[in-house]
Amino acid sequence: MAEIPDPNKLSAFIGVFLSLFELGGKLWGFGSKVMRGFSSEGMYEVLNYESVLEILDKNGKKAKFRKRMDVRYLQDNIIAFPDFGWADGEGPLEYKISPGVPVDRYKSGHRTYVVISLRENRKRGDTDEFNIEWQIKNGFLKKDAYWQTDISHKFDHFAVSLILPKERPPYNVFVEEANRKRRYSIR
């Protein structure tokens, strides 16, 4: 006669099997991240970043900011792109971007965020070259005004330029790697 399995032992066996299966899934996910080098942790990576801040008058009442970013998407189904900026005074004013259309803007702390509709679905591996420009009004009136560029994504190359009126030379210029706690004086 066939032996009837003990329901308690069968239930325990199934519980252990499911726990091991769940653990295997978590290990697989972690292993996949290690194999990718944690590069897919964000929506995109910046391949190239170039920006120019131009103060247009010696009093700092008018300024123009331009940036160009080459971006590679790290996920499928991307339909929007985030941008942000900040400045003392009024800005970003007269915001322009290509490609895409600004569809929303909001302030959070000292930053102004702009949500860009890409108007097409992007998939993993697609690239875009963003050209962005905005005006700043009354942003550099103080004697000790400063400009800061934050790059918070993986990147291959970046360049930051500052154009000042001849009558307004800089007192100090430096590059700081905040995460590495390094600071390099340029002037």
State yes or no: pLDDT of 21 exceeds 70: no
> What average pLDDT does this structure show over 12-37?
65
Place of tokens 């590069």: 39
**What mean pLDDT is predicted for residues 105-111?**
85
Rounded to an integer, the average pLDDT of 41-58 is 89
Neighbours of 146 (CB within 10 A): 12
pTM: predicted TM-score of the whole model, two decimal places? 0.70
Q: What is the pLDDT, as a whole number, of residue 156?
A: 74
Buried b (16+ CB within 10 A) or exposed e, 66-77: ebebbbbbbeee
Tell me the domain boundaries of the chain. 43-185
**Per residue in 53-68, pLDDT tens?**
999 999 989 999 999 9
Confidence of residue 11 (pLDDT cuts 50, 70, 90): low
Write down the CATH number for the domain with range 43-185.
Answer: 2.60.40
DSSP three-state, residue 76:
coil
User: pLDDT grade, residue 50 (50/70/90)?
Assistant: very high
pLDDT in tens, 127-184: 999 999 999 999 888 877 777 777 666 677 888 888 899 988 887 777 777 666 776 6
Residue 34 has pLDDT above 70, yes or no: no
DSSP one-letter code for 42: S
Contact 70, 129 (CB under 8 A): yes
**pLDDT at residue 169, rounded to an integer:** 83
